[in-house]
Amino acid sequence: MSGIARLTAAAVAAGVVAAAIALPAVGGTGAMFVGASEDLGIKPEELKEPPLAEQTTVLDADGNEIAWFYEQYRKTVSLDQVAEVMKTAIISIEDYRFYEHGAIDIEGTMRALAKNLASGGIAQGGSSITQQYVKQVLLNSATTEKEKNAALEASYARKLKELRYAMAVEEKYTKDEILEKYLNIAYFGAGAYGVEAAAQRFFGVGADKLTLWQAATLAGAVQDPNATDPNLGKKQRAKLLDRRNVVLNRMAELKKITQEEADAAKSRKLGYKGTPIPGGCGTSKYPYFCMYVRNEILSNSDFGKTAKAREQFLNRGGLTIKTTIDPKMQKAAERAIKKHVFASDNPVASEALVQPGTGAIKAMAASRAYGTNKRKKEMSYNVVADAVHGGGVGFQAGSTFKTFTLLTALDQGMKINDGFTVGSGYRAPYYSTFKNCKGENIADPSHTVTNDEGGGGFKSLATGTWGSVNTFFMMLEQKAGLCNVVKTAKSLGIKRSDGLPLQEYSTFTLGINEMDPVTVANAYAAIGARGKYCAPMAISSIKDRNGKVTTYKPKCKQAIDPEVTDAAANILSGVFTKGTMRGVGGIGRPAAGKTGTTDSQATAWFAGFTPDLAGAVSIGDPRGAVTHKLNNITIGGKYYGSVFGASIPGPIWKDTMIEALKGVPPTDFTPVNSSRFGGCGSSCAPRQPVEPEPGDDGDGFDVRFGGEDG
C-alpha cells in the first residue's frame, strides 16, 4: 500500500471508530464496530512512555560546554518556557477544541471524515493532540523497522489501540501536561525535535521568545516536517511558507488574532536561519578529546552492559558529562605544537598531557585539524589515542621504552652507577639469550644492533640512559630478562595502539611497538606518581536528566616500588642536563624524561614528567612512517637533515609544560634512597675508565653517550 493510501486509510479508520463510538449500534458499520470494540475492549490502556531522547552535553574541567551528542536534537522545556503565541498557534491548527474534548474529538473527527470522504483524500486531519502524542511515543519507542511500521500502519486495530492509549493519557495528565509533552516530542524538520530545539534551529531564539509569524511557521511544520523541511531547499521552504500562512489564516478565523495581525505576519519572509546544530566531535573545540570521551562511553562496561545500551545512554540520555580536560593546558599543547609543526606538513605531531596520581587526561592536541578534507590534510581519526578510542595504528615509540628496562633493572637491585662495557654493536650470543613471556627463544644471533654515533665503552644506568645507548640497553635487557621488562611495561598500562598483543622481541627495549601519546604519557605519569599507576581517565562525573550525579574516581594501583621510581626519576632528570635533551634544556622546575627515535628516524618521541604533570609527544608521517621517514625534510618551516626526539618532540614538550604549569608551585621529586641505589654494586666501572668520544651530533645530544636507536 502506498504512503498516501495508508494515510487515507488511517484517516478513514479514525472517523469510523469515532462514528462507532458516537452512533447507536444499528446495522451495517455501526454494528460491526460495536462488535469490534467489544472484542478489543475500548477502555483505557496504560501507555509506556520511555524518556525522550535528549541531548547529552560535554563539559571541560571548568564547566564550559565543548561537545554535544544526541540521537535526536532536542531540549526539553516546561510549558511556561513556551511563548503563549506558540501554544495558541499549535492548538489552532492541530486541535482547536483541545481543551474541550476528551481523548478523541468526535465532532472534529466526524467533520474530517465527511470532508475526506467527499474529497477522496485527506483534506483535514482528525487526530487530537493527545492521539498525536500517543503516536509519537510509539514511534520513539520503536527500536526496529517492524515496530516503526506497526506504529504507522493504517489499520482499525492500531487506531483502536491508539485510542485506548489516548484515553489513559487523558486520565493520567492534565491538558497542559499533555500539550507540554506533545510540544517536546514533536518533530519540526531540519533535524529539530521539540519546540525549543526547533525555535533555535529555525530562528536562533528560545521557544519563549517566538513571535507570531515564527510560531505560525513552527506550528505549520509539524503536519509534514519532511515535506516542509527548510534545510532541504527552495521547494520545501516555499511549502513551509504556504503552510505558515494557512496557520495564520486559521488563527484569524478562530479569532485568536485579528486579520490585520495575520496579514502583517504573512507579509514577513520565511526568516529561516538554519542555526547550526551543535554536536559531534567535528564541531567541538577539542575534537580529539571529544572522540576519546565518546569512545570511552561506547566501549566501557561502566556505562552499560551492552554496546546498544551504552549508545542509548550517550545519545538519548540527556546527560551532562564533566570531563578532565583543562582549557589552559589544552591551549598550551596546541600553541606549542603549532609553533614547531604546521598543519600543512606531511608529518603530524600529537601530544597528550596526563595528571600523575589520577590518570586524568588534561590535554589532547595534534598539528592537524580533525575532519575529512584531504586537501587541508585533516585527520579523520584520533591520532592522539589508541584504536579503542578512535585512533589508528600509532607510531613506534622508540627509546621511550628504554625507561621500562631501566625500571626493571633498578627493581632487581642494580644501582645508579652499575653498568657494562659495551661496543658500538650488540649481537645476542645465543637464540636462548632472550625469551618471551611464553618461554620461547626469540633472540637473533645474526642481527646486530648498533648505535647511531658509536658510543662504546663503560656505560652505567645513568650515562647509558642519558645517551640513550642502544647497545647498553640491549645488554641491560639481556640481564634483566625480556619478559620482566615486558611485565614492567604492562604494569604501567603499556599496550599497542592497534589493540594487538605487544611484540615481545629482543628489540622490545628499543621501542618497536606502535603506541599512542595518551598511553605513553600515562605510563610516565605513573613514574611521576612514584609508581602509582592510574588508568587513563577522561570523565569525572555524569549528571543524568533527573539531576542525579555519579562521580567517577581514579582507578589506581601501586604498580612499581616507589623507591625504584625515585631512582629512575633521578636518572631521567639528567637527560635535560647531561643527555639527549641537553641542547634543549629543562623547564625551570624538577622534571625528568626520555627522548625516542626509531630506526633511521621513522618516528620521533619525547615523554617526560614532573610530579604534577606528564606528557608525551610523537611525530611521524601518517602515510606510512617506514616509507616516509623524517630525513631531509622541512617541518614547521625549518629544514632537518634528520629528526630526533630532541629535535621537535622535546621542544614541543618543553614549551607545553612551561605554559601549562604556570601558576602551579613546583613539586620536588622524592630524593633517592642512597643506601639502596647510590654508587655501584657488582657492576662498577673499570678502574681505568674508557675515554669518551668528543663531539656532538648537532641535534641536542652528546655522541659520547651514543645515539638514539640505530
DSSP readout, 4-53?
Answer: HHHHHHHHHHHHHHHHHHHS---SHHHHHHHHHHHHHT-S--PPP-PPPP
d(CA 401, CA 398): 6
Asked whether residue 288 is assigned to any structural domain, the reply reads no
Q: Are residues 387 and 240 part of one domain?
A: no
Nearest to 563 by CA among 701, 697, 407, 687: 407
Tell me the CATH number at 176.
1.10.3810.10
What pLDDT score was predicted for residue 703? Answer: 30
Q: Are residues 258 and 115 part of one domain?
A: yes
d(CA 275, CA 200): 7
Return all residues near 290 (Cβ < 8 A) that are at least 6 apart: 58, 66, 67, 281, 284
* Mean pLDDT by groups of 10 residues along the chain of 710 residues: 40 44 36 41 82 91 94 91 98 94 66 52 62 89 75 72 89 96 95 95 97 98 94 94 97 97 97 87 92 95 91 90 98 98 96 98 96 87 95 94 98 96 95 97 94 80 96 97 98 97 96 97 98 98 94 97 98 96 96 93 96 98 91 96 95 98 97 95 77 41 35
What pLDDT score was predicted for residue 688? Answer: 61
E strands, 110-206, in order = 187-189, 192-193
Q: Are residues 126 and 9 part of one domain?
A: yes
What pLDDT score was predicted for residue 707? Answer: 38
Asked whether residue 61 is assigned to any structural domain, the reply reads no
Return all residues near 468 (Cβ < 8 A) that are at least 6 apart: 399, 402, 579, 580, 594, 595, 701, 705, 706, 707, 708, 709
Asked whether residue 431 is assigned to any structural domain, the reply reads yes
Residue type, 324: T
Asked whether residue 309 is assigned to any structural domain, the reply reads no
Q: What share of the chain is helix, strand, coil (3-state, %, to 5)?
A: 45, 15, 45
**Cβ proximity of 446 and 426 under 8 Å:** no
DSSP 496-559: -TTSSPP--SGGGGGT-SEE-HHHHHHHHHHHHTTTEEE--B-EEEEE-TTS-EEE----EEE-
What pLDDT score was predicted for residue 547? Answer: 93
Q: Which of the listed residues 246, 266, 286 is the one where a domain comes to its end?
A: 266
Asked whether residue 320 is assigned to any structural domain, the reply reads no
Nearest to 246 by CA among 210, 213, 269, 211: 213
Residue type, 149: N
Grid cell for residue 394: 600509532
**Cβ proximity of 186 and 193 under 8 Å:** yes
What pLDDT score was predicted for residue 149? Answer: 76
Q: Which of the listed residues 203, 235, 266 is the one where a domain comes to its end?
A: 266
Q: Are residues 261 and 405 part of one domain?
A: no
What pLDDT score was predicted for residue 126? Answer: 53
Q: Are residues 240 and 112 part of one domain?
A: yes
Q: Which of the listed residues 231, 266, 301 is the one where a domain comes to its end?
A: 266
d(CA 370, CA 379): 5
What pLDDT score was predicted for residue 388? Answer: 95
| Gyration radius from the chain CA atoms | 34
Asked whether residue 316 is assigned to any structural domain, the reply reads no
Return all residues near 687 (Cβ < 8 A) that are at least 6 apart: none
Q: Are residues 396 and 259 part of one domain?
A: no
- Structural domain of 232: 3-50+73-266
d(CA 184, CA 438): 60
CA angle 403, 405, 408 (to 5 degrees): 110
Asked whether residue 57 is assigned to any structural domain, the reply reads no
DSSP 101: S
Tell me the CATH number at 415.
3.40.710.10
Grid cell for residue 402: 628504554
d(CA 22, CA 24): 7
Please give the tally of structural domains in the chain. Answer: 2
Asked whether residue 144 is assigned to any structural domain, the reply reads yes
DSSP, collapsed to helix, strand or coil, labels residue 294 as helix
